[in-house]
Structure 1
């Protein structure tokens, strides 16, 4: 049985940007749909706020054209919800409104819009406004995709409240694995680390990196650059990289003829862990860890933890010079 791809993966973005138009008036949809389609865009439509949220979550469009005044959930609420969700927070929103009073235009921008056009809609004006915002969005998407392709996940975090403004697919997977959540806020340790080192970063001094551990895997966070400034610290691009020592454990198993579990126990001895800690990590009892360690001593021909760790470290450095014990 073939599992269907998520909509955002099935859409061909190599030659066409994806636009979501949200309007409850069919005539407005038709005019814009035809103009954008002729200009080479892939066009999706929604006629209500709830449909817009569902379609945006499925398709992850490159930009949203959003009617401000709709029955039920209006465009302002749709925008707030899109910006609150990490998966869609990065998508530029252009409001379409017949209301020109200052308070309505301010409300559109405060809800998360980057721009607005007034009704009746003039397709050429919409295309011109879209092009301005699409260039930045396109470059940002290409950068995020390139980082993921090379194993570097990335997130954007607002220093003031810790909100995740956007995250790459790889970043979402890693945050879920290490912290059990991928938003709407960055994990508490990441927020604390960012705020603690803001001053250094603002002075262009790279602060110490944050490291999280998950078994033999380590995830490092590095402050890359400031994306936007305000009085409360601005928005920051954080680059993440995961390193796994599974290869090191495998090498010890082969080198010393250890079982997989014995090699894992020896790995944690090299890392300086006591039996009780190792038991918690590998999901066994301290007594079981002790038995594994006794067999490791026998196979290595040593009598102490220190001797076993020293022998293992020498071999690891021969095979993996960059390993940090």
Structure 2
């Protein structure tokens, strides 16, 4: 390599201008040829000369595609690919293997490790660019979709249907999954995997399946199957809705305390005293005392009458509310 290229840092990337490519090869001459060809074609090019460096650069920069040498000393390309695909942060990145091994078992190993394609050595830059173009189009569309969802405040995840692995997630999605299910990538909550697999046939026919909903107190998390982003990968959009505004409305409408408002909310939802006590972390006796004060403030004698009055007022204030 005649001069050491000045590789950009992740902070300088503008993905609206160019896509980011990570080349992994322990031979400097191979890096130089590909770097120059890709740079001239408008790509932002990163390099790594070992498997360990490749994993570090990939996790830091999140390239749009990886060109990966299969045979390297130490950690080889097959192991690098497996680790990239096993990590939620990098699992969505397409990998094209570069190999001088043309035996069928080696090519199969490359694909089984997570590669989407391969090119044989000696490397021909035009062939590499053509193969990249095929896989970059799908990756670019998936990225644009995810960016649009993020911009509007939606949490989203990508799940591989065959093994249920969580391949990608937004920061908000990570928080929600941990909060509702106590899970972290690459684990996908079992209820989400089951829901996805039950409705795959509908989704493949472009029929939107029923949404999945999980309640947690006055909050609920919904999942909507958005689209297929790969052969077996599905983009799922998550949204959390809170009825805290509904509870506050009850308090203002009937001059209730915060806890009385919560109790009345769950009465409207059809919960019995024991269930309300479990939800609020109190005792059925305490809930009963709150209800007695609620009945007095509303001028009613039964929970049915209280629920009916509260529902009527809520529909006036928030027509979209569903009891």
Q: What's the TM-score, normalizing by structure 2?
A: 0.85
Q: Does the 8 Å contact 2:24/2:66 carry over to 1?
A: yes
Could you report, residue by residue, the CA deviation over 1:102-127 in whole angstroms, capped at 9, with x for unpaired residues?
A: 22222112211112223333434333
Q: Contact 1:219 / 1:243 at 8 angstroms: preserved in 2? A: yes
Where in structure 2 are the equivalents of 1:134-153 lying within 5 Å? Answer: 134-153=136-155
- Which residue number corresponds to residue 4 of structure 2? none
Unaligned runs of 5+ in 2: 1-8
Superposition map of 1:199-278 within 5 A: 199-202=201-204, 205-226=207-228, 234-278=232-276
- Per the alignment, in what secondary structure is the counterpart of residue 177 of structure 2? helix
Task: Report the Cα offset of residue 226 of structure 1.
Answer: 4.7
Secondary structure at the residue paired with 2:223?
Answer: strand
* 1:93 partnered with 2:108: no
Corresponding residue of 1:3: none
Mapped contact 1:266–1:293 kept (Cα < 8 A): yes
Q: Identify which of 73, 79, 85 aligns with 1:83.
A: 85
Specify which of 85, 94, 118 is matched with residue 120 of structure 2. Answer: 118
Distance 1:220 1:133, change over 3 A: same
Counterpart secondary structure, 2:253: helix
Partner Cα separation in structure 2 for residue 175 and residue 116 of structure 1? 35
Query: Measured at CA, do residues 210 and 120 of structure 1 come closer, stay the same or move farther in structure 2, by a change above 3 Å?
Result: same
Contact 1:94–1:113 under 8 Å retained in 2: yes
Going from structure 1 to structure 2, the CA distance change for 1:293 and 1:18 (only over 3 Å counts) comes to farther
Flag the 1:11–1:259 CA change in 2: closer, same or farther, 3 A: farther
Moved over 6 A (4+): 7-10
**Aligned 8 A contact 1:152 1:241 in 2:** yes
Say if 2:307 is the partner of 1:309. Answer: yes
- Corresponding residue of 2:3: none
> What count of residue pairs does the alignment treat as equivalent?
315
CA change 1:239–1:97 in 2 (3 A) is same
Is 1:196 matched up with 2:198?
A: yes
Instruction: Compare 109-118 and 220-229 and name the one that shifted more.
Output: 220-229
The match for 1:107 is 109
Contact 2:25 2:50 (8 Å CA) reproduced: yes
Q: Secondary structure at the match of 2:277?
A: helix
SS of the residue aligned with 2:67?
Answer: strand
Q: Please tell me whether the aligned partners of residues 142 and 229 of structure 2 are also in contact (alpha carbons under 8 angstroms).
A: no
Q: Distance in 1 between matches of 2:32 and 2:205?
A: 51
Tell me the equivalent position of 2:6. Answer: none
Match of 2:26, SS state, is: coil
Single out whichever of 235-244 and 272-281 deviates more from structure 2: 235-244
The residue that corresponds to 1:4 in the other structure is none
Q: 2:73 aligns with which of 46, 71, 83?
A: 71
TM (norm. structure 1) is 0.84
Q: Distance in 1 between matches of 2:258 and 2:13?
A: 43
SS at match of 2:220: strand
Which of the numbers 36, 39, 43 marks the counterpart of 2:38? 36
**Alpha-carbon distance, 1:235 to partner:** 4.4
Gaps of 5+ in 1: 1-6
- Work out the CA distance in 1 between the residues paired with 2:201 and 2:137: 31
